[in-house]
Amino acid sequence: MAKIDDKVFGKMNAVDAGTIMHSEYEDEMNPTEQGKYEAQIVQLFQDSYRHDPHKGALDFKHWLKTLNTGLVEERALKWEDIRASGNAIDKLRDLGRLESTILEDAGLLQRLSHLHTGRVRDLIPIVESVVPEEDMMGAAFNQQQAPADVQSPAPMQPRQSPMPPQPGPPGQNGQY
């Protein structure tokens, strides 16, 4: 029993100013699981890049380096608040397709960050280590735009979350 208490106490002490010092990604995932986690992170950052209407002419590498991760985390909180409300789909539809997609990207990035340190900014070095330099600055990647359905106010269809469903009230189950 004392060993269990020590382990729990140690994990509680591993939290520093909102940062999780124990990284499930680094400490508990095998290489295959780490690869899947890294692929999900890269995909979400690439989606966020494509959906960002303010990126201008920045290529992915420079966009990633200048990304305001505090803003991403604020958007993630807003997304979680909307998801927790009783009428999330209506609220997201009212925001418009582009805005709701940006919030969803932020929310999914924040959820994935909890398997590492809890901070979105700590995911950026993972992306930089996984994506080859030529892909981060390549013309083909940087010319990709958000799909037309993201740019238009078409009816909203929820996309599949890369995270397993979270327990919640009946009907919620981690989906909105």
pLDDT(149) > 90: no
pLDDT at 134: 64
Rounded to 5°, angle at Cα 99 from 172 and 80: 30
pLDDT at 138: 52
pLDDT at 87: 86
Q: Where are the domains of the chain?
A: 46-155
| Amino acid occupying residue 145 | Q
Mean pLDDT of all residues in 10-32: 67
The least confident of 55-64, 76-85, 155-164 is 155-164
pLDDT at 158: 47
Q: With bands split at pLDDT 50, 70 and 90, how would you rate the model's confidence at 107?
A: very high
User: Can you tell me whether residue 82 is helix, strand or coil?
Assistant: helix
The least confident of 66-70, 79-83, 103-107, 159-163 is 159-163
pLDDT at 163: 52
Q: With bands split at pLDDT 50, 70 and 90, how would you rate the model's confidence at 62?
A: very high
Q: What does pLDDT average to over the chain?
A: 76
In which element (H, E) is residue 71 found?
Answer: helix 69-84
- CA dist 130 and 113 (Å) reads 16
